[in-house]
Structure 1
């Protein structure tokens, strides 16, 4: 199979699956992993994908409705590990995303808890599953991510304060750092982090080793990364030293 044919196959695989695992693609096509890695490097150079540990992911993030079934079990485990960090009667920020949505469904039935969120879906889940006070950040609602942002959101965030921010990102990589696929989303996350005493990054298995276009925060600007306790990706040890 010619290189151009392999690349067409890889682009199609990326569109269908949302991720390429180099080893699996090599086995499927009957070529070496080195050949697949070379193809992925060239595709990434052309802007067709983003290389991550073991393969590649799309340049553009999937809409939230398409992300709900990705690494579901891992997100649940991360959500459980995050919820135990919530102190009684505290004010927390739950970012938009499927892991924070899982957290919202696990919150304690505590009326003294206050939850701030830029996500209508997370706000509704909090209302359904807990007695917490809810502050929904206003602003323009993105149809892609279903999260509020823009100038109105930044203005509202400037008047808020929280004990802890549970932040979602698109990628967590030792080299590329904490990244997301939207420049506006990155700005909103930074604004929320600036108003929080602690910042925890939620790291389900598909986020480790992935990278998107826009940086969010440096590792030195966060309190910690909450990983899936069952994730055996070797990059976890680099992100969270023993």
Structure 2
């Protein structure tokens, strides 16, 4: 679909709680069949929910399926992942979060040598199983929708180690609410990694900037670096009270 139209629809939904196919067709001066095709793509990406001819944004606690998110903004995520992998140095001990951008990062790490990786993501571990890297999968209770391991066992295990870097995924980074994510259980694991890491890098494609999800992860002061896409709205960036390093790739 037209990327400009997708963004406009999302902007409109932030102003109004719901919109109809007819309203959108009239607003954009296009046929309803075109609107329905656009909306089907947005539903597939997990950007909106659709019911009886009306669309709305997902609730803060509704997490799009992993496969839906993997397809959304794939090129942006790959660009972020490629840059981030280049920052990892030989001999480092790093921690990987869960999420689709992190999965892309795991693919990029396949070309690295002599790096130790800790993760609680089956997705990332499955990718890195093809490498010669030292890989540790942190145990815990399986969260099946995300294929992540969470809970007190996970947090207790993390507390026994120290990490050079933690690469953290987010569902949103907003001026008012900070870095947020969908799952309380996963946020607790993220916090454990943040506490034990010398350097924390948040990976957020440009669609995450300005967005808010269910649970606040940490304070902006806990993050050293945010990596996002060069096409992000710079006026929105200026509103975010983050004093660390922004990287635009």
Normalised by the length of structure 1, the TM-score is 0.75
**Map of 1:97-108 to 2, 5 A cutoff?**
97-107=99-109
Equivalent of 1:21 in 7, 10, 16: 10
Q: Which has the higher contact order (CA 8 A, sep 6+)?
A: 1
**Post-superposition offset of 1:108:** 5.4
Alpha-carbon separation, structure 2, partners of 1:105 and 1:69: 15
Give the conservation status (yes or no) of the 8 Å contact 2:209–2:232.
no
Match of 1:127 in 2: 129
**Map of 1:112-191 to 2, 5 A cutoff?**
112-128=114-130, 130-191=131-192
**Map of 1:1-242 to 2, 5 A cutoff?**
20-23=9-12, 28=24, 30=26, 56-59=57-60, 60-107=62-109, 109-128=111-130, 130-232=131-233, 234-239=235-240
**Post-superposition offset of 1:222:** 0.8
Relative to 1, partners in 2 of residues 1:208 and 1:114: Cα closer, same or farther, differing over 3 Å? same
Alpha-carbon separation, structure 1, partners of 2:94 and 2:88: 8
The superposition leaves residues 92-121 of structure 1 with CA deviations (integer Å, 9 ceiling, x where unpaired) of: 111111111111111153442001110011
**Post-superposition offset of 1:28:** 1.2
Structure 1 residues without counterparts, runs of 5 or longer: 1-16, 33-47, 50-54
User: 1:92 aligns to what SS in structure 2?
Assistant: strand
Give the conservation status (yes or no) of the 8 Å contact 2:93–2:117.
yes
User: 1:231 aligns to what SS in structure 2?
Assistant: coil
My pick for the range that moved more, 20-29 or 195-204, is: 20-29
Give the conservation status (yes or no) of the 8 Å contact 1:166–1:200.
yes
Alpha-carbon separation, structure 2, partners of 1:111 and 1:126: 12
Structure 2 residues without counterparts, runs of 5 or longer: 1-5, 14-18, 29-47, 50-55
Alpha-carbon separation, structure 2, partners of 1:232 and 1:80: 21
**Post-superposition offset of 1:64:** 1.4
Normalised by the length of structure 2, the TM-score is 0.73
Relative to 1, partners in 2 of residues 1:77 and 1:58: Cα closer, same or farther, differing over 3 Å? farther
